[in-house]
Structure formats: structure tokens, C-alpha cells
Structure 1
């Protein structure tokens, strides 16, 4: 049995169209840890989306928490592609109906002011290339049933990318202590997740450096203007219909999003 890349991509596409999650994709592989093959599935979907006219705006980093990496038996994050139609306005109501198994997490968003074309990226490179930071809420949505994922499943599934909401008050990186910045995510005022910058590979800057080097080696380097969602600052939270989330990140301010009260 060999890896059925076309079949995996088709199954994921069908999940988007039908709203029904698919069985774990790793069952289609001869080697569960074949991450390169999973990225080929991801890329096949991205090419289809580009052909359909979707506009890429950057990338997201996933699996940045050490506990999550240990659970999946890996030692590095993964990434997915972000598109303009994934964005929601601060405090806007997002439609929950098209989402399958949504969860939310608070993150630091980087907007680049310079290219990062290097295969070996330093902290200084990221600091120099960053134009500004924004607080973000990412909505992740697994197309694999019951979130029963391995690294292969989530990579193929575009790192569970679904929607994101950005704050509107940019901050300079030099003005924020990203390692020690505290985060509280609330739902209608009640805390549902807490964390800090150190939970994201020790510092969100490290996550961006990893992403930049990885994409450069793949021949798709980050460029000026790109948006990077750097990874969760605390545990992700299942979305409930009618929820109203606010993320507060020290030094970065707040960002909010609400969800419609109906599921398809």
C-alpha cells in the first residue's frame, strides 16, 4: 500500500463541501510519519484554491506547544497557508454553520515589512523584518473526525486553518516582551484559556524564524506584507454557538469575535 495523495486531497475537499469530517488520513499511508507526503496533499489543495482565485496572504504555524508535540511524537511545528477570505473583522459575528469542529486560540500575529528569503533565519532577522504585531484569534477547524489526528493528518489538512480575526491597533515588536506577555481568552467575560508567549516555542519570534527557514527551503519564502500567525499562547477552546470571545494579550491589546447561534 502506498500513500494515496490524490485520494487524501479529494477526501478533504469533500469534507469542506459536505460538512462531514473524514476518517484519519494516516490510514492512507504506508508510513504514518511521512510528513513530506502530507505536505504534498496540502500543496495540492492550495494549488486548487489558487486556481479558484483565492488570495494567499501568509502562513500560520501550528503545533508550537511542547505538550502537543510530545503527544504527537514530533519535535517541530507544522504550517498552513492563510487566505484573505479566512479573515474576519474585529468583533464581527462569524458564521458557525460552515465549520465542522471549530476551536479558538489566541495568538500573536506578525506582519512583515521585509522579505525573509534565508534558509537559516535568526532571531535578529525576524526582528528586523517585522513591521508590526497584532493580537489575533485563530479559528482552527479539523476536517478529520473527532480531531483524531497525527502529524500527517493535520499537515495534510492545511494545519487546521479555517478563520482568523486580527486586532486593529498595531504594536512595534521592540515595545512588547513577547516571551513574557500574558494572555487571557474569555467567553462573555469568563476566562476559558490562559497562557503566555513562552508557550509558543519559548517565544513567538522563534516560531516565525522556524517558518521562514522552512518555507525558504521549500522555495516559497515569506515576503514583505505577509501575515504570520505564530502559534497558540494557551490551550485551544471548542467553539460553542453564541459564544463571544475576547483575547487580551499584554502589550498588544485586545481582539474579539462572536459566533452565530446556529449549526448547520
Structure 2
């Protein structure tokens, strides 16, 4: 894609986020769009958010499960960029007022205590560089109409980033086995789903390894203090105001997400 078209698509997605509306899928309008083009569009869209006053706080990994990969026709994860405007707190709850068509997923967040620069990163490197892990909820959102996405659409749309919240519980990866830890997700007091860390690329650590090496080849390091969302361990949950989700990870603790307000759709 030409640079002017990359810029136009990125600006369209930024405007759709700001105005809480959806667009027709990019792949329908531009059938020749490549994943590489989509990442350039993502960069433009994120740059607009930074120009508006936000800062980068980390990265997220998406499309980690085989069923989702098969649905999108891609067989490796993707990534998006987390900004300060996406951060929520457990105590304040999560406002839906700024979202369009939100869905929640529970996962494990990594917080780095030192830089991690790929390629050549191993699982041991990730464990050593991680200050702690916490249970978290990512509330994904799509600026693409009716979630009608292929891999190019979600990548361009910053991997469908919405907002996220970290639980207060913390554990060192030197003492916590992220692959074997089970997760229980409750919705409004009832059991919704169960899973295990190994559902994410064999271990959430492996997902972070993949991203560190992928970003390293692009000249993008992880920096100390960044948050890395390692990929969903739960099915997507549509949420509305008044809902409460609680995820509990064995040997770690819980994260609670209380929702208020009303999404656009």
C-alpha cells in the first residue's frame, strides 16, 4: 500500500475510536492489503493517540489460541500497543462509555523490571526480566463493524485494543508456573469457564518470547516498566453495565472487573 493510503486508513481508525463508531472491514475495501501494511496502519493510528497526549505503557499479544487463528486464517499471534489511556483500576471499575462493542478476556500480565531486547530471547530471559506477573482482564474492542475481522483488520486496528485492568495479586515467575496454573472465570457470581496457562502457546512465557523476538527483528525493544498482556486464557465475554467478572489464577490470586456505563453498540 502507498504511504498516503496507510496514513488515511490509520486516521480513519483513529477517528472511529474517538467518535465511538465502526468502519467497514479494511480487507473488503482493500483486498490486497498485507499484514505488513496493517502494522504500518496500526503505527499511524497509535501515533495519533500519542500526539493527542497519551504515552506508551506496553504491548499486548493476540490471536494466541488455535481456534481463533483458524478463524482468522493465520497461524501465529499478532500484537498491539498499550497506551496510558487504556489503563483502568480495579477500584474504579471499567467504564463502557468510551467503548463501542466490548468483549472481555482474562489473561496473565507480565510487568518487566529490565529491558528485553530480541531477537534471540529465550524463556529464561523472559523469566529473569519479569518483575512479576498479575491476573488481568483485557477488554478488547473493535472499530470494525460487527467484529467482521480478518487478521489484516485486527492488526490495523491495534490488535483490537480497548482497555485493561491488572489485579493487585503479584507473583515472581521464579516461583510461579505460568503453564500449569489453572484459571477460573466467574461472571456475575456464576462459573463461566476454566482454563490453564498452557492453552496460550504452551505457556504465557512462550507468547512473550515470541513477541520479544518479533519486535526485536523490527528494532523495537521491551523496556523496563512495560506491561505485556500475554494472550487470552478465556473465551470472549460480551459485557454490559452492571456486570462483574472475576478471574482467579491458582497460586497467584484474582482480578475483578466491574463494568458501568454503556457501550456505543
Q: Which interval holds the TM-score relative to the shorter structure?
A: over 0.9
**Residue pair 1:183, 1:196 contacting (<8 A) in 2 also:** yes
- TM-align CA RMSD: 1.6
Match in the other structure for 2:154? 154
Distance 2:262 2:8 in 1: 32
Q: Secondary structure at 1:15's aligned position in 2?
A: helix
User: What do residues 130-183 of structure 1 show as CA deviations (whole Å, max 9, x unaligned)?
Assistant: 111111011100110111000000000001111111011211112222112111
Q: Within the alignment, does 1:54 sit opposite 2:54 as a pair?
A: yes
Match in the other structure for 1:234? 234
Distance 2:192 2:214 in 1: 32
- 1:48 CA displacement: 1.6
- 1:263 CA displacement: 4.2
- 1:87 CA displacement: 1.1
Q: Within the alignment, does 1:113 sit opposite 2:119 as a pair?
A: no
Distance 2:92 2:199 in 1: 27
Match in the other structure for 1:131? 131
Residues 144-183 of structure 1 mapped to structure 2, 5 A cutoff: 144-183=144-183
Match in the other structure for 1:122? 122
Residues 189-200 of structure 1 mapped to structure 2, 5 A cutoff: 189-200=189-200
User: What do residues 205-246 of structure 1 show as CA deviations (whole Å, max 9, x unaligned)?
Assistant: 011001111111111110111110000012111112210111
- 1:91 CA displacement: 4.0
Match in the other structure for 2:15? 14
Mark the CA change 1:196 to 1:253 in structure 2 (over 3 Å): closer, same or farther. same
Distance 1:253 1:15 in 2: 36
Give ranges in structure 2 of 5+ residues lacking alignment: none
Give ranges in structure 1 of 5+ residues lacking alignment: none
Match in the other structure for 2:140? 140
Q: Secondary structure at 2:50's aligned position in 1?
A: helix
- 1:11 CA displacement: 2.0
Q: Secondary structure at 1:174's aligned position in 2?
A: coil
User: Greater shift after overlay, 166-175 or 152-161?
Assistant: 166-175
Aligned residues: 263
Per the normalisation by structure 1, the TM-score is 0.94
**Residue pair 1:241, 1:261 contacting (<8 A) in 2 also:** yes
